[in-house]
Amino acid sequence: MVLGELGGSLARALQKMSNSTIIDENVLNECLKEITRALLQADVQFKLVRDLQMNIKNIVNLDHLAPGHNKRNIIQQAIFKELCKMLDTGEPSFMPKKGKTSVVMFVGLQGSGKTTTCTKYALYHQKKGWKPALVCADTFRAGAFDQLKQNATKAKIPFYGSYVESDPVQIAVEGVDRFKKENRDLIIVDTSGRHKQEAALFEEMRQVSEATNPDLAIFVMDGSIGQAAYDQAQAFKQSVAIGAVILTKMDGHAKGGGALSAVAATKSPLTFIGTGEHMHEFEVFNVQSFVKRLMGMGDLSGFIDKIQEVEYQQPEHMLKILDGNFTLRMMYDLYQSMLKGSMGQALSLLPGLGAKLMRKGQEKENQAKIKRYMVMMDSMTKEGK
């Protein structure tokens, strides 16, 4: 996973630098060498890596630092700033507004994870109080409607599609009309993909777009293609007004860093990343939070975002967190909710828990830790909590 492998290597390089008794040119060079190696292994373009290395060296300039400066902090901040610059995907994208109907069209190549991502996107918003609905206008891939139906049913999200109608435009229009009448505030249209970029795919995308007039077109791309994401994103951008990009399969693939930097180079706003096949393996992409996690610094805003999902049913807890009146009793309730849901993900966002927790397969260990904390809390009196 991009966060596991790349994050692990970056965090280790920084830790090694921090552990050195004296920070000099050699220590800085060694740290930069390790960061460079990690980024190249993640398929980040050589020129981007070289620029990053040179910019950090220019910013830090150890020879000109007056004594008393915290060199570790200066280096860490320079690395943070340059990584953010490299992965900054441009202007923020259009965000649908709760309570006002928005139509969001999903496009992408076949196999990129488009259909799965439609439901993840719907579920993400549903957990935050939206009323999403799914329309399957993918009439090209056999089984696409069944897949969407199955996912939507599991997530308890209304869906629309047809086994007999072969015109994607008609299905899209019917589905959007129906859900507008039902006052759904987020209508998600899944369109057909193709094995490769071809004229028929782009023509169909244009027709569905014209007929449904979406507020946002989201391009779903397979993150495992690494640097090749640049050309694919450019080709789609030229055919449809792409308002946002989602990179999928950012779990198991070492090339995720390359895909991220490539999307950033096209200046397409990256809004979410897919981190697994399960419905909850889906995260908001925020460049600063992401880089903080890559560097092992945790991400409190991401943690709050996850907690908000959990807290949708218990909003009074959220207010107390924001007031600073958070009690152990509430922490206990949160742990309980987390054990039911995507706990591993939420925990990995906490500062200090590091990239170790981001690796797959550690969920069980983490759950055991949480259960131990809960047993400790169980032994406390009500007042103590």
Does 249 bind ligand GDP (CB under 6 A)? Our answer is yes
Nearer to ligand GDP, 147 or 239 (CB): 147
Which residue of 45, 126, 212, 275 would you call a contact of ligand GDP, by CB under 6 A? 275
Nearer to ligand GDP, 80 or 106 (CB): 106
Nearer to ligand GDP, 281 or 299 (CB): 281
Nearer to ligand GDP, 5 or 82 (CB): 5
Pairing assessment for the beta strands 282-284 and 270-274 based on DSSP bridges:
antiparallel
Beta strands across the sheet bearing 102-108? 159-160, 132-137, 186-191, 102-108, 216-222, 244-248, 270-274, 282-284
DSSP per-residue codes, 172-191: HHHHHHHHHHTT-SEEEEEE
Quote the CA–CA distance of 117 and 145 in Å, as a whole number.
14
| Burial tier of 279 (Cβ tally within 10 Å: 0-12, 13-18, 19+) | middle
Nearer to ligand GDP, 258 or 274 (CB): 274
What is the torsion angle, in degrees rounded to the nearest 10, for the CA atoms of residue 148, residue 2, residue 58 and residue 73?
110
Quote the CA–CA distance of 15 and 354 in Å, as a whole number.
11
Q: How far is the CB of 253 from ligand GDP (least distance, A)?
A: 8
| Burial tier of 327 (Cβ tally within 10 Å: 0-12, 13-18, 19+) | exposed
Residue the block writes with tokens 């993400």: 124
Distances in Å between the Cα of 144 and the Cα atoms of 36, 114, 155 are 41, 10, 17
Does 175 bind ligand GDP (CB under 6 A)? Our answer is no
Quote the CA–CA distance of 305 and 284 in Å, as a whole number.
9
Q: How far is the CB of 298 from ligand GDP (least distance, A)?
A: 23
Which residue of 90, 129, 252, 298 would you call a contact of ligand GDP, by CB under 6 A? 252
Quote the CA–CA distance of 160 and 240 in Å, as a whole number.
24
Kind and range of the H or E run holding 262: helix 256-265
Does 193 bind ligand GDP (CB under 6 A)? Our answer is yes
Nearer to ligand GDP, 150 or 327 (CB): 150
Q: How far is the CB of 53 from ligand GDP (least distance, A)?
A: 30
Does 4 bind ligand GDP (CB under 6 A)? Our answer is no
Q: How far is the CB of 104 from ligand GDP (least distance, A)?
A: 15
Extended beta strands in the chain, E state: 102-108, 132-137, 159-160, 186-191, 216-222, 244-248, 270-274, 282-284
Which residue of 251, 283, 305, 311 would you call a contact of ligand GDP, by CB under 6 A? 251
Q: How far is the CB of 375 from ligand GDP (least distance, A)?
A: 34
What end-to-end distance do the CA atoms of the chain give, in Å? 37
Span from 84-92, 164-172, 248-256, 289-297 in contact with ligand GDP (CB under 6 A): 248-256
Does 129 bind ligand GDP (CB under 6 A)? Our answer is no
Q: How far is the CB of 118 from ligand GDP (least distance, A)?
A: 8
Q: Which of 235, 247, 223, 265 is nearest to 90 (CA)?
A: 265
Q: How far is the CB of 139 from ligand GDP (least distance, A)?
A: 13
Which residue number places its CB atom closest to ligand GDP? 274
Q: Which of residues 97-116 bind ligand GDP (CB under 6 A)?
A: 108, 110-116
Does 119 bind ligand GDP (CB under 6 A)? Our answer is no
Does 274 bind ligand GDP (CB under 6 A)? Our answer is yes
Nearer to ligand GDP, 190 or 305 (CB): 190
Nearer to ligand GDP, 114 or 317 (CB): 114
Q: Which residues bind ligand GDP (CB under 6 A)?
A: 108, 110-116, 147, 193, 248-249, 251-252, 274-277
